[in-house]
Amino acid sequence: MGEMVATGWDLGGAHIKAAQIDAAGCLRRAIQIPCTLWRGLEHLEAALASLDRELLPSDLQGVTMTGELVDLFADRSDGVGRLIDAMLAHYPGRELCFYAGEMGFLAPVAAREQVLRIASANWHATGRYLAARDETGLLVDIGSTTTDILPIADGKVECQGFSDSERMALEELVYTGVTRTPVMAVAPAVLFAGQNQRLMAEYFATMADVHRLTGELPEDADQHGTADGRGKSAEESAARLARMLGRDLADAGMAEWRRLASHLAERQRRQVIDSIERVLSRSSLPEDAPLIGAGVGRFLLPEIGRRLGRRYRDFADLFQGEPASREWAARAAPAAAVAGLLLQLKKSV
């Protein structure tokens, strides 16, 4: 094989993300595609085959994951083991290693013995990459489904929890995202037409509909189908929001539906701010430490940083490369971080 290129993988339950960095530290590729892993491992295989057509040849591959959580698997241990098997089967003969938090990268045999360190450790890879660069700040990665909140200071990842359960209890992990989160998970009731009305507890609309109507969601950000299987126009998004209120699109004008979307977007923003404030309350971060934004939903963060009195820094600015690749690297931060960490490791050997 020619030049050294490290490939980082983040195997999610709904998306597969990959990023590649060359020996000079230049970001060469960053890609995300949808993958309905909960429907079967053949969907992962198809996603990997599709990504292979876009990626550069690379023998050096690092893997992190959250896909072990999907209900295809009996439990997290089963999921990690089967995802390890799937990657080894798809890339026979290549050097594959799996990210295990503070333990670093493990070879497949060792990884099978540390499955609970590998399970959902992707956030830690992003934090560790920032720490290795001597960055100081509060990493906030708002994705399609979840938000990670992680202080980085003095070359260390300042987390208090590691497992999903621990991190959720500490609000270092918040189950809210800008596309796949059901609207009913953001607010039980909303202000509409002069009333405080409860929402239906039904999967009628997602936050992708909300952020489409506010105009903040990038056009290519929502990679899965809608709640009702219909299109992604503003009117179709508004119709889904109307259904959450037991109403029809024609019951109000688009201005009213956009106002409702802005109200819901603010409720989600407030949810993230509340969790950030809890994490900051026990952190040693200096007052001038920036908010470092990653994920497809980082468009929420400049305003959040303004309210918190912290400057904003974008994860994309950490990389050299084409603007489109840097944008996708920020959306797929754990994959880019794994590639960067793996390259640093190989250079130090």
Give the tens place of pLDDT for each residue, 281-337.
999 899 999 999 999 999 999 999 999 999 999 999 999 999 999 999 999 999 999
Say yes or no: 327 and 236 in one domain. no
pLDDT at 2: 57
Is 157 part of any domain? Answer: no
Say yes or no: 29 and 109 in one domain. yes
Instruction: Find the mean pLDDT for residues 219-231.
Output: 96
Instruction: Find the mean pLDDT for residues 13-28.
Output: 95
Is 126 part of any domain? Answer: yes
Helical segments of the chain, H only:
41-52, 76-90, 108-111, 115-118, 122-132, 164-170, 207-214, 234-244, 254-281, 301-308, 323-331, 333-348
Q: Which stretch of 59-63, 158-162, 219-223, 344-348 has the lowest confidence by average pLDDT?
A: 344-348
Say yes or no: 326 and 264 in one domain. no
pLDDT at 90: 96
Q: Which residue has the tokens 């880019």?
A: 336
pLDDT tens profile 32-82:
999 999 999 999 999 999 999 999 999 899 999 999 999 999 999 999 999
Say yes or no: 18 and 110 in one domain. yes
Residue 1 has pLDDT above 70, yes or no: no
Residue 347 has pLDDT above 90, yes or no: no
CA dist., res. 118 & res. 134, Å (int):
24
Q: Are 216 and 265 in contact (CB under 8 A)?
A: yes
Say yes or no: 130 and 11 in one domain. yes
Which of 177-203 are b and which e, b meaning 16 or more Cβ less than 10 Å from the residue's Cβ?
bbbbbbbbbbbeebebeeeeeebeeee
Instruction: Find the mean pLDDT for residues 263-274.
Output: 98
CA dist., res. 62 & res. 108, Å (int):
11
pLDDT tens profile 127-163:
999 999 999 999 999 999 999 999 999 999 999 999 9
Q: Which two tokens stand for residue 7?
A: 């490939």
Say yes or no: 15 and 130 in one domain. yes
Q: Are 291 and 137 in contact (CB under 8 A)?
A: yes
Is 260 part of any domain? Answer: yes
Instruction: Find the mean pLDDT for residues 12-16.
Output: 96
Q: What is the CATH number of the domain that holds 50?
A: 3.30.420.40
Looking at 246, 272, 298, which one is the last position of a domain? 272
Kindly list the distances between the CA atom of residue 39 and the CA atoms of 68, 265, 342, in Å, as whole numbers in the listed order.
Answer: 13, 30, 31
Give percent of the chain above pLDDT 90: 95
Is 290 part of any domain? Answer: no
Mean pLDDT taken over the chain: 96
Q: Which two tokens stand for residue 278?
A: 């809890």
The structure's pTM equals 0.95
pLDDT at 109: 95
Q: Which two tokens stand for residue 34?
A: 């949808």
Residue 169 has pLDDT above 80, yes or no: yes
Show the domain range for 254.
183-272
